[in-house]
A and B are shown apart, each in its own frame.
Chain A
Amino acid sequence: MDIPYTVTARPDTGLYNAKVGIWLFLASEVMLFGGLFSSYIFLRVGADYPWPVHELGVTLGFVNTLVLIFSSVTVLLAWANLKLRNIGKYKLYLFITILCAGTFMVIKSIEYNAKFHHYSVTLTDGTILTGHLPQGYNIEFGEVKELNLTIAGKTAAIDADPINHVLPWVKGDVPKFKTETGDLIVLDKAAFNELKNAAQIKAKEKAQKDGLKEVPNWTLKLVAEKPIVFSLPPSQLLSKPQAGAKLISFRDGTTAEGVMLNDKMTLEVDAIDLRATPDKEKSLAWSENYLGSAWKKFFIEKRDHSISQFNEKYSDGKGGTTRDPAKSATHQKHMFYIKLDDVNHAKLDSDSNAGHKAEVKGPSKDESQESHQHPTVILERKDIQFFSNFTPKLNSYYAIYFTLTGLHGLHVIAGALVLAYFLFCNGKMLKTDPERLANRVEVGGLFWHFVDLVWIFLFPLLYLL
């Protein structure tokens, strides 16, 4: 059976059917994104940290905006040329539109990837250092002589699984273990299953003997032939290891006693944020082990420079300012947020008034050092309160950023797939019923414009304001 009203309008609605369909769909899409924009407002109003402004790379976002606008034009040109039966041009413009979708997604993934590899470390005094972890961040825990595995009596979230959660983090050779029966084994899947079955049988026997309702957990002890050293990201542990911890628990509940060999974090600092530090001049960042007094001096100069600039700009002529410096988020950022990118030749005064040009030089240990090289600090575990890469875990801004742009990105992919289907799989319809295909392209185009429309709001809200 043929679907009615694919070309001509239905008399009662005045529209061909697909158009009613797409508008109903877009109406529900508005609600979907509307809910998320509403959450954006709530998160922003409720944020207990300075909301990031101009923190994402504006250039890439700007280019992506232009790409989407351009593709919105080309999808319309494709439709118009199909109406005019300029088949070559129709195909070209539709192809360009799909290419634009690809470009958008490539740029977006470059942006995402940079965020995944960029870290923010909050020190215990509220100072935030951001930068890169050139060696990743693994803690080293050594002199482990035995492992304690807990076999759960019933189905549980935490059940011994050393193959996946313990052994991958062994540094060096594959260890051998002595079991309780005195055998020397390599702990592989088969060997572990054997041990597990034996333990479960013992646990069931005990339950029967003692009249227990539930089968109890059973602890297995495996003695290492040689002391083991583990090297692993702290996220692979059940709880944050304290400084000088003597015991760690892996994600499967296995515990190991030993000595913390190294829990320091090597960070290539690219920015310092002191906005949440109560006493900015006594920030942990200025301790000699970290950035040191030379950077502190640089900070003080930069801050004082920002203050004098602010006072000059907003002078009310009576020694006061027309603007409350405590309420200006921009001023707070100028004073307490230092980007170390090209700090060596940082020109802090971009104003053209010649009487007040200052150049503040950032310290560099080695004069021959390139200016784009960032200072590296080795942070003590005890000074780190929280660290994360720039993902939803970091704060509510990145949570809503990834939710909104991720959902939008899925729409870009979906739109591109639909348009690609028209271009590559509707060849027969192009010959037999081009008017119907033109309506399809129009409907696909309406969806594409909606995707552009959402981005028109996303770009300023997430990148600029």
Chain B
Amino acid sequence: MADNHEAIYSSIKKIKLIGWLLAVFTIITVGLSYVELPSHSLNIVVGMVVATFKASLVALIFMHLNHEAKLVYKILAFTGAFALALFVLFYFSNTDPLVYKNF
């Protein structure tokens, strides 16, 4: 982590900038939710893309995941895989047993 004073001063600037960016993207999220896209699913996708971008800013800069020790990434790899599995589960809810007989 930033240990000399120079690095800390520059990181303070970066923190404030990211704070403003997050606020601006919050306004964008709210605005976009009132725009009627061809389907509401598309609204959800766009909203989630913006939210994921904001979350990445928080994770990478605020939680300094952009430069962290290897061990942290190893821990998070497991979480990522399991969390992904949780969301893939949803795929099975959509399968109609009458259509997919061999499923």
Contact = CB atoms under 8 A, between A and B. Distances in A.
A423 interface: no
Contact of B79 (A31, A65, A69, A83): A31
Interface centre among B26, B75, B93 (most CB of A within 10 A): B26
B90 A38 contact: yes
B98 interface: no
A329 interface: yes
Contacts of B59: 449, 453
A106 interface: no
Nearest to B3: A83
A334 to B, nearest CB: 10
B33 A465 contact: yes
Contacts of B99: none
A66 B71 contact: no
Interface stretch (A228-236, A413-421, A456-464): A456-464
A408 B30 CA distance: 21
Interface in A417-465: 442, 445-446, 449-450, 452-453, 456-457, 459-461, 464-465
A76 B64 CA distance: 11
A181 to B, nearest CB: 63
A354 interface: no
Interface string A26-39: 01101100110110
Interface residues of A, number: 53
Nearest to A83: B8
Interface centre among B5, B40, B62, B93 (most CB of A within 10 A): B62
B92 to A, nearest CB: 10
B20 to A, nearest CB: 9
B101 interface: no
A329 B47 CA distance: 17
A72 B1 CA distance: 18
Nearest to A45: B93
Contact of A54 (B18, B33, B69, B93): B33
A24 interface: yes
A58 interface: yes
A460 B58 contact: no
Contacts of B44: 465
A62 B24 CA distance: 12
Contact of B83 (A15, A30, A80, A464): A30
A37 B12 CA distance: 33
B11 interface: yes
A464 B33 contact: yes
Given A69-B22, A457-B55, A460-B51, A15 B69 contact: yes
A73 interface: yes
A38 B33 contact: no
Contact of A80 (B11, B18, B71): B11
Given A20-B71, A31-B82, A457 B5 contact: no
Given A80-B8, A329-B40, 20 more contacts: A9-B69, A15-B71, A20-B71, A23-B72, A27-B75, A31-B86, A38-B86, A54-B34, A69-B23, A84-B5, A445-B62, A449-B63, A452-B58, A453-B58, A453-B59, A460-B33, A460-B47, A464-B30, A464-B33, A464-B47
Q: Which 3 A-B pairs have the closest CB atoms?
A: A464-B33, A14-B69, A73-B19
Interface of A: 9, 13-15, 19-20, 23-24, 27-28, 30-31, 34-35, 37-38, 41-42, 45-46, 53-54, 58, 62, 65-66, 69-70, 72-73, 76-77, 80, 83-84, 323, 327, 329-330, 442, 445-446, 449-450, 452-453, 456-457, 459-461, 464-465
